[in-house]
Amino acid sequence: MLEVRDPEDGSLVGRTAVASVQDAQLAVTMAETASPLPRAERSSVLERAAERVDERAAELAETIAREGIKTIREARREVGRCATTLRLAASEARNVAGEELPFDAISGHQNRIGGWTRVPLGVVVAITPFNDPLNLVAHKLAPAVAAGNPVIVKPHEQTPLSALTLAQAFVDAGLPPGWLQVLPARGPDVGEALVRDPRVRMVSFTGGHDVAERIAAAAGVKRLAMELGSNCATIVCADADLDLAVPAIAGGAFSAAGQNCLHVQRVLIARDVYDELASRFTAAAGQVRLGPKLDEDTDMGPLVGEPAAARVEARLHEAATAGARLLAGGERAGTRMVPTIVEAVARTTRLYREEVFGPVTILEPFDTLAEAIDLANSVDLGLQHAVFTRSLDDALTAVHGLRAGGVMVNDSTDFRVDSMPFGGSGVGREGVRFAVDQMTQPKLICIARSTGGVADR
């Protein structure tokens, strides 16, 4: 059995069976032989699953909070987003379509008619992380079902209970056998067996670059979708509304204890407002309330485990050795770390160049917007960047100059709604409509009409 323990105090949250490589092979067989579902039935199942999520919202929120790193208030928001994701997929299920091809626009082919439609790829494998254990699962399985693909989910071994509860919502909603299977497992063996199986037509993965490279090497000829984290930069121009910028940046820096691919890791600040923003941001960090995750007054929970917390602490020590100055925080106790702000961080350090995945934010001044854009782009992990400015020209300059999957203007990098295209640090895009597109492929239909003899060639 797999024991699921709360990273806050090590208490037992629950137990679940552990899948084997043989289970993985059987799961692919079941998925491959699942009966097809028409669009209307897929849509109805997704709508009913969303209703089940709403009905079990309190239970799901407590499960997310206890097995993972989110506070109960953060967990409730995730449950609400999950229901939204399912309803977006229900709408997309009815709209998976192609278009007519104008064969008669090409000389000699006026007697042909046809077009293309979109058809399911086949079995989809989804490998999901710990930080959004419900909604990131939904972002993979809901588009797969909407597109007509059976899906096998391998959740993170520390947070399998949310995925299993969501799967039960689909069963209760009437999803037929074989269409959705969840395989909790320890280590890489089950995931590797799923990825290598030639019957699997697509792998959708959210996680780190090292694992992504192993998946790509093992997958063979199949479609890949990968969201691989980031090192997001927020630019604050001299004319920015600091009353807007400071709370947005603080929220993006310390939500989920910074364990978020949209975490505000670097804040690039115009020199004229550097001192004021640094002072106000440091004060905001000091107002973040740490405490038990199930306490309604708690703003920030723990890191996912002591090794993760020790890794963040080591990055801070390395940066301090290279000359970084601590403005706030820096203390760690077990899996908890105080919201931390640093400046004068050497650009060669891992804290500056890699994704920190913890509640640490770097401040850095700039003199020109061009310099700020170059600094943001200097780290090749561009998922989303942001800019605060009152100037339309500067906003558009940043939008066009920043290399990232998304640019937020007058908002934190940590902004996402579940309908938008999401990605930029890996391969492909999430967001329900865009994931459905990747989980289908065009199928050509061409009809040569008789002309009283041989059809035109």
How far apart are the C-alpha atoms of 444 and 137, rounded to whole Å? 32
- Catalytic residue at 306? no
At 139, list the tokens: 């972002």
How far apart are the C-alpha atoms of 296 and 293, rounded to whole Å? 8
Beta bridge partners of 441: 119
- Catalytic residue at 100? no
Q: Which residue in 67, 261, 355, 364 is the catalytic one?
A: 261
Calculate Rg over the CA atoms of the chain: 24
Beta strands in 171-263 (DSSP E): 180-182, 200-206, 223-227, 232-236
Q: Which residue in 8, 227, 355, 364 is the catalytic one?
A: 227
Provide the 8-state DSSP code for 222: S
Beta carbons within 8 Å of 153's beta carbon, 6+ residues apart: 126, 127, 128, 137, 140, 141, 163, 167, 180, 181, 182, 183
23-28: list long-range contacts, CB under 8 Å, 24+ apart. Answer: 23/183, 23/190, 24/152, 24/183, 24/190, 24/193, 24/194, 24/197, 25/193, 25/197, 27/152, 27/181, 27/183, 27/194, 28/123, 28/152, 28/194, 28/197, 28/199, 28/200
**Secondary structure class of 278 (helix, strand, coil):** helix
Q: What are the CA-CA distances from residue 143 to residues 146, 162, 433 (Å)?
A: 5, 18, 8
Beta carbons within 8 Å of 165's beta carbon, 6+ residues apart: 56, 59, 60, 63, 134
Residues acting as catalytic residues: 227, 261
